[in-house]
Amino acid sequence: MDSVSNNEIENSASYGKNPSKIKFQYEDDDEQVVQDETVTESSNLEVDEDISMCEPTTASAVDDSMVGGDKTSADYYFDSYSHFGIHEEMLKDVVRTKTYQNVIYKNSFLFKDKVVLDVGAGTGILSLFCAKVGAKHVYAIECSSMADMAQEIVKLNGFSDVITVIKGKVEEIDLPVPQVDIIISEWMGYFLLYENMLDTVLYARDKWLVKDGLVLPDKASLCLTAIEDADYKEDKIEFWNSVYGFDMSCIRKQAMMEPIVDTVDQNQIVTNCQLLKTMDISKMTSGDASFTAPFKLIAERDDYIHALVAYFDVSFTKCHKLLGFSTGPKSRSTHWKQTVLYLEDVITVCQGEAVVGSMTVAPNKKNPRDVDIMLKYSVNGKHCRVSRTQYYRMR
């Protein structure tokens, strides 16, 4: 893995920089919801900048032998999206789908008479939104067999003249047009980067997007916090130490390396929330998704820390009014939930004490749809002093 560039480091969060709380124009039955959202530099909101430099480090991918061999979700990735159940879950995620609908419906001037590319179209819902507000033409690319259903859905809704469904991989197909005005995609995976669909969006952007064209969403941020979670850790991790009287601790080692995707109760949060990384999808390169970011989590009460929790925010900053959503534990739940990384240590913290460290994130070298995570953390507190490096793999 190449070393982290200065530009990547400058875009990492500084110690103590928290996601700024802003009010999104997310609407569900005309309700305004306050979300925790990272404001990027292109936002029209004023935010105090406090960016510090960190020492470049080489991303260290998790060794395959540590996480149980070569089997990967990559082999089954597209097939998994052939099943309607996963699309039902995404469509019923009101935060997700309603935000995209509001972005398109409330900013129809951006889409009217424009050529739109929908990357990873699924059922074609985003393409239908675009067609309804007057897009000149929409090209919906979907690699799974759901493309056949999307074609039928387009026909059923009377948009066959406006939406063209193309079945295949973005990297392998040819568009009937040389350029598009807008690329829209719901590419985010668990932990933001799992499944590595971002690379596909960047490929499409570089190949087909006109100069000054729009990528939607255009900003994504990864954030981190720490939680008390004794009961669940005991149930999911320590369980393997003695199973009906037998030692299965070898599985515990494996379980510790696999982050858990689950919904975190905001009352479990022990520290502040820290911005790790902001990505500008309209400008970034593929390599920018591999990074090392420092963090400093300050305890807000006396408690124990059993895990760190990662979540992401996305923003549509080119809209008339800033739109977006957060997948954080303090926001309305989404199908992405949060990503929990359990710690080997139970950290005893007093209010005001800090857990400091860094997180290195990179696609797995053998299976790039998986994500390797290296976590370094240390505590030098009144009741706890510890320094450790742990490895995880999202798979």
Locate tokens 């959202």: which residue?
37
Walk across the sheet containing 137-142 and list its strands: 163-167, 137-142, 115-119, 180-185, 209-216
Kind plus residue range of the DSSP H or E element containing 101: helix 94-105
- Give the per-residue pLDDT at 83: 65
Distance of CA 148 to the CA centre of its chain: 28
Contacts of 11 (CB under 8 A, 6+ apart): 277, 278, 279, 288, 291
Here the tokens at position 223 are: 């954030």
- CA-to-CA separations, 270 to 19, 221, 228, 232, in angstroms, rounded: 16, 21, 7, 16
Q: Which member of 8, 37, 186, 353 is catalytic? A: 186
- Give the per-residue pLDDT at 37: 40
**Percent of the chain as helix, strand, coil, to the nearest 5:** 25, 35, 40
DSSP secondary structure of 246-261: B--HHHHHHHHHS-EE
Here the tokens at position 276 are: 């790790």
Burial class (CB in 10 A: 0-12, 13-18, 19+), 391: middle
- Give the per-residue pLDDT at 65: 41
- Give the per-residue pLDDT at 84: 74
- Give the per-residue pLDDT at 19: 61
Contact 260, 236 (CB under 8 A): yes
- Give the per-residue pLDDT at 24: 53
- CA-to-CA separations, 26 to 23, 118, 327, in angstroms, rounded: 8, 22, 13
Question: Which residues of the chain are under the pLDDT cut of 50?
Answer: 1-16, 21-23, 25-27, 29-69, 71-78
Q: Which member of 37, 142, 195, 353 is catalytic? A: 195
Distance CA 216, CA 66 (A): 37
- Give the per-residue pLDDT at 91: 86
- Give the per-residue pLDDT at 134: 98
Here the tokens at position 32 are: 């305004």
Kind plus residue range of the DSSP H or E element containing 298: strand 291-298
Here the tokens at position 134 are: 């007057």
- Give the per-residue pLDDT at 252: 92
What's the pLDDT tens digit per position in 239-288? 999 999 999 999 999 999 999 999 999 999 999 999 999 999 999 999 99
Distance CA 357, CA 289 (A): 19
Contacts of 85 (CB under 8 A, 6+ apart): none
Here the tokens at position 267 are: 């009352």
- Give the per-residue pLDDT at 79: 58
Q: Count the neighbouring beta carbons within 10 Å of the beta carbon of residue 366.
A: 11
Active site residue 353: no
Q: Count the neighbouring beta carbons within 10 Å of the beta carbon of residue 79.
A: 11
- DSSP E strands: which ranges in 84-232? 115-119, 137-142, 163-167, 180-185, 209-216, 219-227
Residue 204 pairs with which residues in a beta bridge? none
Active site residue 195: yes
Contacts of 343 (CB under 8 A, 6+ apart): 305, 306, 307, 308, 377, 388, 390
Here the tokens at position 182 are: 């807008």
In the chain, the amino acid numbered 312 is F
